[in-house]
Amino acid sequence: MPDTPAKPVLVTGASGALGKVVTKALGALGWTLALTDIAPFPEALPAGATFTRADLNDGVAILRLAEGCGTIIHLGGVSAEQPFETVIGPNIRGLYHIYEAARREKARVVFASSNHSIGFHERAESIGADTQFLPDGYYGLSKAYGELMGRLYWFKHGVENVNVRIGSAFPEPTNARMLATWLSYPDFARLMQRCVLAPKVGCCVVWGASKNAKMTWWRDDARAAVGWAPEDSADGFAGQLAGKVSGDPVEERYMGGAFCSMEYSRGAPAPADLFGNSNE
């Protein structure tokens, strides 16, 4: 299996935390990278990389950036919970521009989805890649929409895509929740590498978390298909983080954590069984 893609890779959101991780890791491998973000790139570019400032809302700019690229690693857009009008442009319209560019170039899309697309699942659940979407806010809703767009473009246009449901990608886990959801930067970089180089991916979901004992997301995802297995683990932080909880019953009940409690206005908790009414 080749260790360098035949065509350049377009990375959106390159100036963000994960964009910089990917740029550094793939650049060190000698890959040809086309980088873009609405913000300037804050570091020196690696050899073989170019950077262009662009807005995801600008479809023409995205088409031009994607010319000749074999894969689009799409990390761009609003990356936290924001009002709907803030999210809709980059995360929904912008994603459409990404997929139109991929369709034209016959390129693969590696989409930075999120655990917030399934955030209202109970933390005690063990869920598979085919679980129903339960977004915990407008950001999570945009990620669920993004995965559905990937399905549309795969079945209708043959655009391959990997939807990586990122857990908590930080240098280190910082609270008890992240003992389950943490994704180390090196694991993330290796995952992006495999998503690009895998011979075939179709339309699939990979849970983006390191090898954490508390993780309950692994069932039926496409880690094996893309050739990735996490190497790092949050387990070594358990002693210092096990008691680091918020005290907010909504935040601590659901997989999405603090995003679930933002603007939460129910008078009583939702039923544990989605179709039941025992707690109504």
Which residue numbers are catalytic? 139
CB-based contact 178:194 (threshold 8 Å): no
Question: Which one-letter amino acid corresponds to residue 192?
Answer: M
> Cα–Cα distance between 167 and 210 in angstroms, integer?
9
Radius of gyration of the chain (CA): 18
> Exposed e or buried b for every residue in 91-124, given b needs 16+ CB within 10 A?
bbebbbbbbbbbbebebbbbbbbbbbbbbbbeee
Residues contacting 122, CB < 8 A, separation 6+: 253, 254, 255, 272
How many other C-beta atoms lie within 10 A of the C-beta of residue 67? 13
